[in-house]
Chain A
Amino acid sequence: MSIRKILDLKCDRRKWLKNSAKILGTSLLPVPGIVSELAEAETAADTPERNLATTEASEERFFTAAQNSLVAELAEIIIPADSQSGGAKAAKVADYIEQVLSECADDGRQSDWREGLRLVDLMSLHYCGKSLMESGPDERIAILSVLSQNHAVIELPEVRMFNDLRELTLRGYYTSKIGIHDELDYKGNVYLTEFTGCEDQGTTPG
């Protein structure tokens, strides 16, 4: 499988929407905006047990437990742990994202995430032969690469979800203790007796 080459998500998704619908069959609810594309697809096959579309989250939480842990994995792919500092998982970015989404007043944003997670699952089934939950790290990186390369195609809900995932991951990570202190070694927000600045203040000709 070499999906890193795929650049035209808009064109390619017709195939995986069609094929994936064959796999997922009627359990796949039509998604606004792609109904006509789905209508072309034939019905068939059994629903895999573990995919993101099948379980509803409780009212208080935006994600199911499975979705939350998946989002944690995806966020970790966006900002991974390394020798300098912990990554998005250690910074509990998924909980931050879930909080933002569950409190969010924007219906469009919430439905982007619900549709987006489902569509990304279909992508995974098409390209990797298994749901995103079941896929391995390399396969997930490959899926995110497709979305990242197509980040400007914002008419697609899965792209909007990815962009939001990326933005919220950065926001959640770099406002966390790990992000501010361990990763970026931020030195401010302290009481100073003297202002700091460049040693050379440019007062003499350079």
Chain B
Amino acid sequence: MVDLITDLTKTYDAVVIGSGAAGGMAAHVLTSRGMKVLMLEAGKKLPIEKEIRSMEWPYDNPHRGKLPPDRHSLTFNEYTIRKPPYGPGFEKSKHLLSYAGNNDYVKNIVVEERDHPYTGTNYAWVRARCLGGKTNIWGRLALRFSDYDFKAKSRDGYGEDWPLSYKDLAPYYDKVDLYLGISGVKENLDQLPDSLFQRPTKLSCSEVTLKRSLQKMGRVVTQYRAGVTTDGLKHNKYRSRCFGRGACDRHGGCDIHAAFDSPTGLIYPAMDTGNLTLRTNAVVREITVDPQTGKATGIHFVDSETLKDFTVRAKVVVVAASTLESARLLLLSKSQLYPSGLGNSSGHVGHNFCEHLCGAVILGQAKDLVGKASTLDDGRPGGFYLARFRNLQERHSKFIRGYGFEGGGGQGMYPQVTGSPGFGASLKEEIRKNKGSYIDMGGFGEVLARYENYVDLDPVVKDKWGIPALRFHYKFGDNEHQMLADMKETAQEMFEAAGFKIVQVENTMLTEGWSIHELGTARMGNDAKTSVLNQFQQSHDVKNLFVVDGSAFVSASCQNPTWTIMALCWRSCDYLVDEFAKGNL
């Protein structure tokens, strides 16, 4: 189905760089409205069902689901004490992977760290160079942002408001919901707007205990809002509905594609229009410009396998390479006309880099579930989401913005053994009687967008293809540390209120990057002096250049970004097609 014999001689209406959530959505919108599109993906197309093997039992896997011995995925400590590209100490590992590549099912989805070096401050940078990118293994939590996010500056004075509001994006969230499918329950919360939900999953008993207890505090636990089709999608022949097999967390992906991934959700349907050409193994190194008109003319890429250089011409260039790779590509595209990088007259490309902090992971035990018979608790794409409750009506004295928690309770395939010390008959009995009683959750909080948190190009280090590596200048600040302290306090307070025995609370803030929610390196704005893109993710400087991924975000919110990336991209691409038709690009 994937056409690898690519015609690189013609001028495409648009070239889309990247095949993840944003690239897939751009391809869908542009091709469905008749534009001839070339999509370039830096990685290869994997036989993804063979990789993910959702139903494989651990005892049928040669390493019980763990990585083969020649591969090593980085641990929390290794990110804080070692610098990429990871020299001494890893000689014996033929393949070195990011922390997210920690099992046999995702090992080929994430990149080889050594081929993709980066420098500067600590950062757990998870990259998936393959068709579909990180959507093959994403966490599926599909949340909407609200005006608490889009208009956050108007509320607390920090940063910038987005150049659009919830009502501008709401119709596009609806489109994404209907086209891709989302499971959840309506809660009528201003800070967490509802989607057009398909059949919800069910909470486990410990989750209901938490929900009931938090109702008294005015806090909301709701079923995991999963970017998963639970009722099926009549218009998509590549995706099955969810059958509650529960493999999403165990293996990291879904081999029947009930969970959204960009290839089956967006790219294959786009290819069926006859308007999409796909070229994999295409590592884009530069966006080319016409020095006369100042407009983008296409791109240069290097074939990752043959190492040959290619040039492609396109009338519109759509960058969707992921927040950090997109910024890198703009910075790489220097010319006499654009000496500081393409679309960077503001000097803001790479800056205002933000994400979600992760921490306050808490493990508790519902005592009433100890000793109960086995129940089927993990037959669903996720547990629960605990909605933001800070800095809504009241203002917290120590920090601005908010955080939410993701969590789950009940019996899984592999038992929780953390709380059971010792050995022998008593250990075995302890694990058995506690198997369904554990519940855990972890916080995701908004990291403020700051100009001084940024990435630029390393003057020396290059990747496997000779392309300058990205250099990080990124640190959490006081607001993040104050927020984490509050997260830890409220996590314990809420588990105690629910009557859970607290087994463990994670004290450390997880390394920068851990959320895999990097955002904001080419932010939108109305002022071309302080932003890179307008509200339609169109470059202020170059009219036929669009950057449609998370890099356009003005702030991070505390809600997971994928659904907003796609709603925003859909809206921008609608505008793009209109402008293209009018001859304005």
Contacts and interface: CB of A to CB of B under 8 A. Distances in A.
Contact of A183 (B422, B423, B428): B428
A32 interface: no
Main secondary structure of the interface of A (DSSP, over half): loop
A196 B424 contact: no
Nearest to B250: A189
B415 A174 contact: yes
B204 A198 contact: yes
A177 to B, nearest CB: 5
Interface in B57-72: 57-59, 64-65, 68-70, 72
A188 B379 contact: yes
Contacts of A166: 423
B367 interface: no
A33 interface: no
A103 B247 CA distance: 27
A60 interface: no
B75 interface: no
Interface stretch (B277-285, B324-332, B369-377, B458-466): B369-377
A40 to B, nearest CB: 32
A99 B523 CA distance: 50
Contacts of B202: 195-198, 201
Contact of B424 (A80, A105, A201): A80
Interface residues of B, number: 56
Interface string B415-432: 101000111110111011
Contacts, number: 139
A192 B230 CA distance: 11
A41 interface: no
B57 A189 contact: yes
A70 interface: no
B373 to A, nearest CB: 7
A198 B210 CA distance: 12
Give the dominant DSSP class at B's interface: loop
A148 interface: yes
Nearest to B213: A206
A20 to B, nearest CB: 24
A2 B427 CA distance: 22
A193 B231 CA distance: 10
Contacts of A90: none
Nearest to B93: A105
A80 B428 contact: yes
B245 A192 contact: yes
Contact of B427 (A78, A103, A107, A200): A78
B219 to A, nearest CB: 13
A177 B59 contact: yes
A198 to B, nearest CB: 4
B212 interface: yes
Nearest to B200: A195
Contacts of B376: 187-188, 190, 192, 196
A201 B380 contact: no
B76 interface: no
22 contacts: A77-B423, A80-B424, A80-B425, A80-B428, A82-B429, A87-B428, A96-B64, A104-B69, A105-B70, A105-B72, A148-B421, A172-B64, A177-B59, A187-B374, A188-B377, A188-B378, A189-B55, A189-B245, A193-B243, A196-B376, A201-B202, A202-B211
Interface of A: 77-80, 82, 84, 87, 96, 103-107, 141, 144, 148, 151, 166, 170-172, 174-177, 180, 183-198, 200-202, 205-206
Shortest 9 CB-CB distances between A and B: which pairs?
Answer: A197-B202, A192-B244, A103-B69, A105-B92, A175-B58, A198-B205, A185-B374, A187-B376, A202-B208
